[in-house]
Structure formats: C-alpha cells, structure tokens
C-alpha cells in the first residue's frame, strides 16, 4: 500500500514570493503615507520659522496608537506621518504572522511553534507596558 501525502497548499517558493510582496508593498505604502504627510506638513507649515531655542518633544497624542488614530477629521499632518511610521513597523510583524499561517498550512509544527514565539515576543515588545 502506497501512502500519498497531500500536497501542501503553499510551496516554499510561493511563501517566499508572498513574503517578499508583503514586505515590498508594506514599505512602499508606509513611504507613500509618510511622504504625503510630509508634503502636507510643508504645505501647512513650510513658511513658518522654527524655534530651536527650546526642545519640545512629541505631544502625547503622537506617542500612542490610540492618540494617532483618534482626533479630528481634518487629517493632521503629523499624525499622518506617525501613521506611516506605524505601518513601517507593522510590516515585519505582518510578515511573521503570515509565516505562522504558512507553516500551519504546510503542517510544519516545529516552525509554527518557533514563529509563534517570535511573534509573541514582537507583540509584547511593541504593545507591552513600558
């Protein structure tokens, strides 16, 4: 009796291509959002003279995800720039999450466990209390 193993839904090459596409489009999207925010910032504040005598850090609403996503509908340019940076940071996290799904579909338990550990460390470091 010959036991045939079912073909994996995704081959290693297909997984690599999807991961490459995720990383490429994540970076392109993040760059486009930051570029738009930077352009909008220059349109609104490009003619004002900066005051470098006193250092002012980022306001509290730009230091958290809740602050970036809440606020006025007028599309504040600094929030758009911060959102682009969040997209850039989220790109490799999405890549690792996709890897978990791909390894699960390929029935590779060891890599699923290892990748889940990596994903949990990433999420804890990004979302944990500091």
pLDDT over 70 percentage in the chain: 88
Q: What average pLDDT does range 22-42 have in this prediction?
A: 95
Residue 5 placed within a domain:
no
Residue 113's alpha-carbon distances to 19, 33, 83, in angstroms, are 19, 34, 31
- Using CA atoms, how far apart are residues 11 and 17, in angstroms rounded to an integer? 10
3 part of a folded domain: no
Q: Is residue 92 part of a domain?
A: yes
Position 27 in a domain? yes
Global pTM reads 0.79
Query: Coil, helix or strand for 87?
Result: helix
**103 with 112: CB under 8 angstroms?**
yes
Domain that residue 118 falls in: 12-127
Whether residue 5 is predicted with pLDDT greater than 80 in this model: the reply is no
In a domain, 7, yes or no: no
């Amino acid at each position: 009796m010959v036991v045939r193993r079912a073909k994996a839904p995704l081959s290693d090459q297909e997984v690599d291509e999807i991961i490459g596409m995720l990383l490429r489009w994540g970076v392109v999207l993040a760059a486009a959002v930051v570029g738009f925010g930077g352009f909008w910032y220059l349109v609104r504040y490009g003619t004002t003279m900066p005051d470098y005598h006193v250092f002012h850090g980022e306001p509290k609403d730009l230091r958290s995800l809740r602050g970036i996503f809440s606020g006025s509908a007028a599309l504040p340019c600094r929030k758009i720039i911060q959102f682009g940076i969040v997209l850039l940071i989220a790109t490799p996290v999405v890549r690792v999450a996709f890897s978990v799904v791909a390894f699960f579909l390929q029935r590779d338990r060891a890599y699923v466990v290892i990748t889940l550990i990596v994903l949990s460390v990433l999420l804890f470091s990004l979302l944990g209390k500091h």
